[in-house]
Structure 1
Amino acid sequence: MIIYPAIDLKDGQCVRLVQGKVENKTVYSSDPAAMAASFQAQGAQWLHIVDLDGALNGQPQNLKAIKQIAGRIDIPFQVGGGMRRLEDIAAVLEIGASRVIIGTRAVTSPHFMEKILKEFGSDKIILGLDAREGMVAIEGWVEKSSLDALVFGKQMHSLGFKTAVFTDVSRDGLLQGPNLDFTRTIAEQTGLSIIASGGVSSVENIKSLREIEKKGVSGVIIGKALYDGKITIQEALDAAKGGH
């Protein structure tokens, strides 16, 4: 199971929001590239980067910061937030991202997803499956759609998606632990390989997710818990491998 330290970008800074709300913002670093390099030095094998401004504005806003991160690390990274046009996806992949996460556009235009998957391939394009109370959340989590998250996940798998970042928005940034039951259900029933996100706050949470790895949970994203010192990258890596 892969551990993905999260770097959330807002106005070029490394921040964390609570439940995606801009008013609940904490700035952790004005140098995201240094933060990324630090995560790599601590043993991280992947990074998860979110352009928060992009998610809210509908197109990437922090390409400069992403480019700086790419220049400082050797490990692969994935980027989400505002990825709704072919040219934006191409630009982020050109900067050096290994994968791009598509959320809102997958909900509003499933046929466009077929075009994107055909253009870039399912190894480069992964689904951002964000849910609030079982329904898909879009537009930077501001809007709750009338789409059932489980049904949507199945639809996207049938379109050709292989991997999804699944976030229970209600848990994000609260350090209350992930929604294990729903994560397991999404992994078991959609056929997607799931990267779990939202609320991970302890070694125990990672061990619990590892127990459902065989159901289809391939990774876990950790944000606030790392920044607040609740868990170290080494501890997370050990737990993901089954260590103590």
Structure 2
Amino acid sequence: MSFEIIPAVDMRNGKCVQLVQGVPGSELVSLDDPVAVAKDWVSQGARTLHLIDLDGAIEGKRHNAPIIERIVKECKPMGVVIQVGGGIRSFEDAAGLLELGVDRVILSTAAIKNPDLVKQLAGSFGSERVNVALDSRNGKISIEGWKKQSEHTAVEMGSRFEELGAGSLLFTNIDTEGLMKGVNTKPTEELVRSVNIPVIASGGVTGLSDLIAIKRTGASAVVVGSALYTGKFTLAEAINIINEDIN
């Protein structure tokens, strides 16, 4: 499978936003119509959309669920894969999204607190539809909208979730997330080497060279947010640079 550039559509209070370090009130970008934003990314060549309900992640309440439903209904016919995270706290939450037509749910806090949830969902819907987010700060996984720190490392939990049936992992390096200062590829490379399932990377992408660096870690894809929204490069430029890199 070729390396993929996945644009982020992060939602808070009904708007498409980009936060610095996930902190509410730090918006770099705030756009009124997330549905239009999602459709625009697809029209520009996105093959996958990364939808995050930040209200759900931070507060545990999925206020943006109606917007996600609209994006699924309007973008799925365009042939795009949709992955959704933020505030998925139970089997019922995840099942509802998958039955709605979401291709892949992203579990974070719920998976760390109840690892068997991953096994249950994989058994019911298939491993390929279950992704576990490993958000790392200073080498340890953060949960509950990055407000609390666990004692687990990404490598430790990545292997555990692979055994439980997760079909892929989303690794976010919080230490670089939203700072627009470039990527640190070492933690991503360590995780990629420790598991046999795809790893999607996130955090710190600022320029086109960062995309190449992440591709060369062996990650299957990279989620890009602020760099696209602030015009550091276009989605077409990102796709082209990846296609040109044959190493």
Where on the TM-score scale, by shorter chain, does this alignment land: which range? over 0.9
For residue 225 of structure 2, the aligned residue among 217, 223, 226 is 223
For residue 127 of structure 1, the aligned residue among 129, 132, 139 is 132
3-state DSSP of counterpart to 1:146: coil
> Match of 2:7, as an amino acid?
P
Q: Distance in 2 between matches of 1:145 and 1:60?
A: 23
> 1:159: which partner in 2?
164
Contact 2:170 2:202 in 1 (8 A): yes
Aligned ranges for residues 32-181 of structure 1 at < 5 Å? 32-73=34-75, 74=78, 75-181=80-186
> 1:3: which partner in 2?
5
Give the drift of 1:32.
0.4
Give the drift of 1:59.
4.2
Contact 1:10 1:52 in 2 (8 A): yes
Unmatched 5+ stretches in structure 2 = none
Give the drift of 1:211.
1.8
Aligned length: 241
Q: Distance in 1 between matches of 2:151 and 2:135?
A: 13
Q: Distance in 2 between matches of 1:108 and 1:239?
A: 39
3-state DSSP of counterpart to 1:89: helix
> Match of 1:202, as an amino acid?
G
Contact 2:58 2:144 in 1 (8 A): yes
Q: Distance in 2 between matches of 1:171 and 1:103?
A: 19
Q: Distance in 1 between matches of 2:22 and 2:141?
A: 14
> Match of 2:23, as an amino acid?
K
Q: Distance in 2 between matches of 1:162 and 1:94?
A: 18
Q: Report the aligned-residue RMSD.
A: 1.5
> Match of 2:130, as an amino acid?
I
Give the drift of 1:190.
2.7
3-state DSSP of counterpart to 2:56: helix
Q: Distance in 1 between matches of 2:244 and 2:140?
A: 32
Contact 2:91 2:117 in 1 (8 A): no
Contact 2:108 2:143 in 1 (8 A): yes
Distance 1:205-1:134 versus aligned 2 partners, 3 A rule: same
3-state DSSP of counterpart to 2:171: strand
Contact 1:13 1:27 in 2 (8 A): no
> 2:23: which partner in 1?
21
Give the drift of 1:78.
0.4
For residue 198 of structure 1, the aligned residue among 203, 209, 226 is 203
- Map Cα deviations across residues 31-59 of structure 1 (whole Å, 9 max, x no partner): 00110111111111111010000112224
Give the drift of 1:72.
2.7
> 1:242: which partner in 2?
244
Q: Would you identify which runs of 4 or more consecutive aligned residues in structure 1 move more than 4 Å?
A: none
Question: If the length of structure 1 is used for normalisation, what is the TM-score?
Answer: 0.94
Q: Distance in 2 between matches of 1:141 and 1:35?
A: 25
Question: If the length of structure 2 is used for normalisation, what is the TM-score?
Answer: 0.93
Contact 2:16 2:34 in 1 (8 A): yes
Structure 1 vs Structure 2: percent identity of aligned residues?
37
Relative to structure 2, which stretch is displaced further, 78-87 or 53-62?
53-62
Q: Distance in 2 between matches of 1:168 and 1:210?
A: 15
